[in-house]
Amino acid sequence: MNLAAAATNENLASISNVLIYSAMAVYTLAFLAHLAEWAFGSRSKVGRTAAALTATVPAPAKASARTAERGGGTAVLERPKVVTRATNGSRDVPDGPGAAGGTEKGDLYGRIAISLTTLAFLIHLGGVLTRGLSVQRAPWGNMYEFSTTFGMVAVAAYLVLLALKKNVRWIGLLLTATVLLNLGVAVTWLYTDSSQLVPALHSYWLWIHVSCAIISGAFLYLGAVSTLLYLFRDRYESKLADPSGKQPGAFATSVMERLPAASSLDKFSYRVNATIFPLWTFTIIAGAIWAGEAWGRYWGWDSKEIWSFVTWVAYAAYLHARATAGWKGRKAAYLGLFAFLTYIFNYYVVNYFFSGLHSYSGV
């Protein structure tokens, strides 16, 4: 069968569009439910989480006294040390931001949000599948299809981590917000009618190379979210431990206490990035092999190739920095965010404003 000449099933293409818009509607409800989870938690005392995450040296007063042997037994006052650690087992917060705030109502909204996110994902999945079935090919042949599939895989990764009992409910609010933004951009500026691609793209490497790029990007996105939140949480914990006594404001406390400890966020982002890095490496190699088959050369310094390699170098530097004592913590986090920004730049800016061999796939 000549795939290039295959007709487009307009009925399936129309159903795909309806499903994508329906998924956006349900994602909106999920976002509002996640927002309610945080809001209802923030109206209650944060004592439960604060007790778990902020432990002070026990003393009858604000300061403790010890007798020093220097200067004839002068009493030296010491400020209680603030230790940010989890004391409630393997989890930093109970179930999610609402539960961390100490309210059953907030936790209930969080569970509703997860249910709505799952429903939106299933509708989203249907939209992606029907788009591919409408033209009998992989549903990621242009920027619109790549964007819709990317958002779906990001949500799938989040739900898989939840199914594995990982404490990642804190990602839900940002995830649903960014997936909505991603789909909004896709249907508004990137949309193209369902159609066949040029013959060079009808290759099994379209399934392998692009799917690996989507999966890599989805997990790198989760790592970037965790890195960003780590920077905020780390600054909050630094203020708690500030010997000058300057404490965070009430709003910062109500939000930050619903996140895992900074060390947990840092560890999560590192593990995600380190785990997915080999797949991104394979993505570049697979693209080079496909280029050799399609264009007769493995590497031609095309703009897309260059920026894919820049992203690889940035993440390699990040992982190397994590193995170097002087580059742990905030410095490595900044490098990790820069690495993800190169991935976003490669997708949006390079595809829009740079010309190259990859341009023929269209918007």
Residue 245 CB partners (closer than 8 Å, separation 6+): 79
At 102, the pLDDT band (50, 70, 90 cuts) reads low
Do residues 260 and 99 touch, judged by C-beta distance below 8 A? no
Query: Which stretch of 142-151, 211-220, 354-363 has the lowest confidence by average pLDDT?
Result: 354-363
Give the per-residue pLDDT at 342. Answer: 95
Strands 54-56 and 75-78: unpaired
Q: Could you give the number of structural domains in the chain?
A: 1
Do residues 123 and 19 touch, judged by C-beta distance below 8 A? yes
Residue 139 CB partners (closer than 8 Å, separation 6+): 128, 129, 131, 132, 145, 148, 149
Find the helix or strand (DSSP H, E) in which 76 lies.
strand 75-78
Pairwise CA distance, residues 260 & 171, whole Å? 11
Give CA separation, 213 vs 1, 168, 206, in Å.
Answer: 28, 23, 10
Q: Which residue has the higher pLDDT, 351 or 79?
A: 351
Find the helix or strand (DSSP H, E) in which 277 lies.
helix 262-295
Pairwise CA distance, residues 290 & 118, whole Å? 35
Looking at residues 173-201, what average pLDDT do you find? 89
- Residue whose tokens read 């230790």: 83
Looking at residues 154-182, what average pLDDT do you find? 94
> Other C-beta atoms within 10 Å of 321: how many?
17
Do residues 41 and 258 touch, judged by C-beta distance below 8 A? yes
Q: Which tens digit of pLDDT belongs to each residue from 303-359?
A: 888 999 999 999 999 998 888 766 778 989 999 999 999 999 998 888 777 665 555
Residue 136 CB partners (closer than 8 Å, separation 6+): 3, 6
Pairwise CA distance, residues 117 & 138, whole Å? 24
Give the per-residue pLDDT at 358. Answer: 56
> What range defines the domain where residue 139 resides?
3-361
Do residues 40 and 101 touch, judged by C-beta distance below 8 A? yes
Q: What is the mean pLDDT of the chain?
A: 81
Do residues 103 and 44 touch, judged by C-beta distance below 8 A? yes
Most confident of 4-13, 102-111, 275-284, 345-354: 275-284
**pLDDT of 63 higher than 70:** no
Category of 89 on φ-ψ map: left (φ > 0), alpha (ψ -120 to 50) or beta: left
CA neighbours within 13 Å on the CB side: how many for 191?
Answer: 12
Q: Which residue has the higher pLDDT, 157 or 243?
A: 157
Pairwise CA distance, residues 182 & 124, whole Å? 13
**pLDDT of 187 higher than 60:** yes
**pLDDT of 90 higher than 70:** no
Which residues make beta-bridge pairs with 78? Answer: 64
Q: Which residue has the higher pLDDT, 19 or 251?
A: 19
At 76, the pLDDT band (50, 70, 90 cuts) reads very low
3-state secondary structure 93-156: CCCCHHHHCCCHHHHHHHHHHHHHHHHHHHHHHHHHHHHHHHHCCCCCCCHHHHHHHHHHHHHH
Pairwise CA distance, residues 303 & 296, whole Å? 17
Give the per-residue pLDDT at 32. Answer: 96
- Cβ burial, residue 125 (10 Å; 0-12/13-18/19+): middle
Give the per-residue pLDDT at 356. Answer: 58
Looking at residues 92-106, what average pLDDT do you find? 68
**Diameter over CA atoms, the chain:** 97
Q: Which residue has the higher pLDDT, 141 or 327?
A: 141
Give CA separation, 129 vs 125, 146, 152, 361, in Å.
Answer: 6, 13, 11, 19
Pairwise CA distance, residues 356 & 306, whole Å? 11
Residue closest to 114 by CA, chosen among 19, 37, 226, 22 = 37
At 124, the pLDDT band (50, 70, 90 cuts) reads very high
Looking at residues 135-163, what average pLDDT do you find? 94
**pLDDT of 25 higher than 90:** yes
Share of the chain above pLDDT 70, in %: 79
